[in-house]
Structure 1
Amino acid sequence: MSNKLRETPRYLAVELLTRINQQGTYSNLGINQVIKKHQLDEKDAHFFTNLVYGTLQHRLTLEYWLQPFIKQPQKVAPWVHELLLLSLYQMQYLTAVPEWAIFNEAIDIAKVKGHAGTRRFVTAVLRSIQRQGVRAVKEIKDTTKRLSIETSTPLWLVKELTAELGLKKTAAILATTNEPSKNSIRFNMSQPTEDKLAQTIKGLQAEGLEVERSQVAFRAGTVTAGFAPTSLAYQRGELSVQDESAMLAVESMQIKPGDQVLDACAAPGGKTTQIAIELNESGRVTALDIHAHKVKLIEVNAKRIGVADYVQAQQLDAREVAKKFAVASFDKILVDAPCSGLGLLRRKPEIKYDKRLADSQKLQQIQLAILNAVAPTLKEGGQLTYSTCTILQGENQDVVDRFLAQHSEFEQIKTKTHYGIKDEREELSLTIYPDDFKSDGFFIATLIKKSR
C-alpha cells in the first residue's frame, strides 16, 4: 500500500510543495519533473498540477483558514503543514472531490510519512474543520488586509500596487493571478503570413491539438487541448512555448534582415531565437548570460529551432558589455532585465511569498547598471528595448526615467506592436497587466539613440 501511495497525485503534491517552500524549487519546473519522473497519465498529471498550483496560489487564504485549528504551529513539521493546506484546498475549492477521499488519503499519507501521533493529529484537525467550517474572509474589516487574504497576496504588494494603480485595478489584477495560465505557443517561421499560420494550425489539429490564434501577439497561438511539446511540430522546431506578452518585446523591436542585435540578458533563449527568426537568415544576435550552463541552454534552444548559425551565445555579465564590445556595435539591443517577476504569478505563484519591496528596490540598481553598460554599444539611430516581466513601476518606467536623465543622447518613443496593443494609451511605454488579456504581466519601453 505504501509504495502505491507514494505514486499518487496527493502524495507527490505534498512532497513537491514541501520542496518548494523549504528549498525554493520553482513550481513550474518541479511539476514537469515529477510528471516525467513518475510517468503520470493525463488524468493524474492534471490533478497533481491542480493540487500544487491551487495550494500555492491560495496559500495565504488557506493559512488564514487553518490558523485557528493549530494551537502550536511551530511544532508542526513542514510536510504536515503542507498536507493540511493541500487537504483544505481540496475541501474549499475542489467541490467535486468527495470529502471521504480527501480525508482517507490525507490520513494514509500522515501514517506513511509520519507515525501514529501524526495520523491522529491530521485526523483531528481535518475533523474539526469539517465540523466547525472556516472563518469568512469578508469578516476582515480592513480593506487592504481583506484583499491580501482574499487573493492570497502579501500585504506589502497589495499596498504598493494600490498606491500605483488604485484599489479597483489592483483588485482586478490580483483576482486573475489565481486563475490557470494559458498555454501559449510561438510559431517559428520567418515572414509568416495568415495562410502559413493557418496551415500550421491545421497540422497541429491533425495531431490532436486544439489551437486558437492569439489576439495579443502575431506569431502566437493558444493551445486549449493537448500538449504542444510532444507534437511533431515542436520536435521539428516549428513551435516554442512562450507567453503571448513575452513575445511583444521582440515584436516591438522591428528587427530587419542584416541587423546586428544584442540580447543582453538572454537565457533561456526564448527571445534570442525569436530575434534570430526575424533576422531571416541575415545578420546575427549576440546572446549573453552570466552563467555558463545557461549559455549552453541558449545554444540548445537555437539548435532545436534551426537558427544556431545566427546566434552567438557568450558567458558575460551584462554590466560588463561596454568593456567587451566596441562602441556602436549593434543596430538593436534588447535588455530583458532581471526583475522581481511579479507579472508571472499565474505560472510561479510561490514567488509572491518570497519577494519583499527591498528586493525590488535592489534590482533597480542592477537594471540601471545594465542599461548604462549597453548604451555606448548601440549605433546612432539604433533602438534599445527595455523589458521586464514585473508590474511594479519602480522596476519599469522609473528605471527608464533615471536612465534618460543620465543619457541625453537617448529619447523614448511609443512602443508599438503588430496588433496595436493598448495604442490608445497616453504612456510611451507599454505595460500589460495580468487582467488585460489573461496573459503574463509585462513591461516594454522603446528608446532611440539620437543622431548627433
Structure 2
Amino acid sequence: MRSHSKMGVRDRAEVTEAVFNVLRHLRLYRNLAESGSGAAARRLAILGLDATLPDDFLKPGLEAQEHAWLEHIRRIDRQAMPRAIRESLPDWLDEKLAALPDSDSLVAALNQPAPLDIRVNPLKVTREEVMAGFLSGPAARFEPQATPYSPWGIRFKGRPSVSRWPQFEKGEIEVQDEGSQILVSLMAPKRGEMIIDFCAGAGGKTLLLGALMRSTGRLYAFDISQARLARAKPRFARSGLSNIVPVVIEPSTDQRVKRLRGKAQRVLVDAPCSGLGTLRRNPDLKWRQHPEALNEFQQLQQRILREASACVAPGGRLVYATCSLLPEENERQVEAFLQANADFELLDAPAIARDRCPGLDMQGPYLQLRPDLHGTDGFFAAVMQRRKS
C-alpha cells in the first residue's frame, strides 16, 4: 500500500480484508488452487476477493479460463474435505485443538473475523455517557452495543477508525478485546495498593488497572522490551493516570524486581504464549508458530511465574493468564506451579470475575474464554493467593 499511495480508503479496506481472508484459509485455498493454471498468487488473490466481495464483482477482471475455474471451485463440497484442509490448520495444530471440547465449533469461530471492541476509561467517563455520544453521532452507523460481560466494553460492527475519534484523543476510550477486560476484573484492585503488571507490553491491562485504582497507590508496568513500553507511554499520558511506573527489567537478574519481593498486594502475569487464542485477529500466527516453539514458551512461562510470584505479599493475589487455548500453556503450568509452591492456593476465578462481570456463567476454578462460547478471543486465567501464615 505504501507503493500504491493513491489507493482510496475503500480500496485499502477491501484489499486488507481479502489478504486476511487468504491468511485464514491459506491451506484450503492452496488445495483448491492446484486445479488452476497461471500464477499461484493470482489464484489465491481471486479466492480471497471472491470470498469478501459481492457476487460477480470480479467477473470483468477475469480471463475466460479463470472464470470457468472459479465456477468449478464454487461447486466443490468443502465439507467432504479433511478438517485440517477445510479449516486451514497445520496438522499439528488440528491435532492439538481436536483434544479440546467442541473443537469443531471452536475452530470455525477462530476462522471468523473478530469484531472491534473498545473499553471506556472509568477514571474519566462512564460507558453510558460514551454510548449516548456514539448513538447520537457518526459512530452510530457502526451499531455500538454494550459488551455482554464486561461493564466497560463497547462492541462495533465494521472497522471504524477509532484512533481518530475525539474520545480516543482525550483518553476516554481504548481499543481492547472484552476478554482482556474480564481478565483485569480478576485482579480486583483497590485504592492505595502496590500492584505489578509483570508483562505489561503495550499497557492495555495496565491502563484499566490504574483507572480502577482511581490513580492511587503504585502500579508498576514491567516489561523486558523498551520498545513495547515506549509504545505504551502515549497511552499512559492520554489516560490521565499518575500512579503508573513503567520499568524496563532484565530477565531473571533485575535488582528492582528483587527489591519488591513479598511487597505487592496483587501481581498480574499475562505471560508470553503461542497466542493461538487470537487467531481471529492474527491468522498468520497458525503458519508462524510450530510445536518446538511451544516448549520454549512453556519454559519461559515457568520462569516468569516463579519470578513474579516472589513479589506477592502474604495474603496477596497472583493472576496467571495467557491468550492460548492449549492446556500445556494453561492448566498444566498452574498445576506444576502449585505443586512446587505450597504457600499458594488456587481460588475460583469465574466467581471472582462475576463480581464485576455478573453475566459470566462458567464453572471454575479456571477462567476459560472462547470465541465460539463468549464472543471474545481465547483466554485462560488462574487466580492464586499466597497464604498469610
TM-score normalized with structure 2 length: 0.90
Deviation at 1:38, TM superposition (A): 3.7
Gaps of 5+ in 2: none
1:428 is the counterpart of 2:365: yes
Partner of 1:386: 320
Q: Equivalent residue for 2:117?
A: 184
Task: Name the CA distance, whole Å, in 2 between partners of 1:423 and 1:130.
Answer: 45
C-alpha separation in 2, matches of 1:49 and 1:65? 21
Equivalent position to 1:68, from 23, 31, 35: 35
Q: Distance in 1 between matches of 2:262 and 2:73?
A: 66
- 1:136 paired to 2:68: no
| One-letter identity of the residue aligned with 1:419 | C
Indicate the residue corresponding to 2:57 in structure 1.
98
Give the direction of change, closer, same or farther, for the CA distance of 1:333–1:325 in structure 2 (3 Å limit). Answer: same
The 5-angstrom pairing of residues 37-436 of structure 1 reads: 38=5, 41-69=8-36, 80-91=39-50, 94-103=53-62, 126=66, 129-130=69-70, 132-133=72-73, 135-140=76-81, 146-165=82-101, 169-190=102-123, 196-210=126-140, 211-224=144-157, 226-307=160-241, 309-317=242-250, 319-320=252-253, 324-415=258-349, 416-417=352-353, 418-420=356-358, 422-425=360-363, 427-436=364-373
Tell me the SS of whatever aligns to 1:164. coil
Q: Does 1:447 align with 2:384?
A: yes
Aligned length: 379
Moved more, 411-420 or 361-370: 411-420
Structure 1: distance between partners of 2:70 and 2:216: 65
The aligned counterpart of 1:9 is none
* Larger helix share, 1 or 2: 1
CA shift for structure 1 position 317: 3.9
Partners of 1:349 and 1:149 lie apart in 2 by: 15
- Residue 73 of structure 1 corresponds to none
Q: CA deviation at 1:374?
A: 1.4
Structure 2 residue matching 1:69: 3-state secondary structure? coil
- Partner Cα separation in structure 1 for residue 198 and residue 18 of structure 2: 37
How large is the Cα RMSD of the aligned pairs?
2.4
TM-score (norm: length of structure 1): 0.78
CA 1:191–1:259 in 2, change beyond 3 Å: closer, same or farther? farther
- Separation in structure 2 between the aligned mates of residue 234 and residue 100 of structure 1, nearest angstrom: 41
Matched letter for residue 203 of structure 1: G
The one-letter code matched in structure 2 to 1:82 is A
Q: C-alpha offsets along residues 212-251 of structure 1, whole Å, 9 cap, x if unaligned?
A: 1111211111123643222111110000000000111111
Question: Which amino acid in the other structure matches residue 79 of structure 2?
Answer: K
2:130 partner amino acid: T
Give the fraction of aligned pairs with identical amino acids, expressed as a percent: 24
* Residue pair 1:318, 1:373 contacting (<8 A) in 2 also: no
Query: Displacement of 1:191 after TM fit?
Result: 8.8
Which amino acid in structure 2 is aligned with residue 154 of structure 1?
Answer: P
Change (3 A) 1:334 1:321: farther
| Conservation of the 8 A alpha-carbon contact between 2:274 and 2:324 | yes
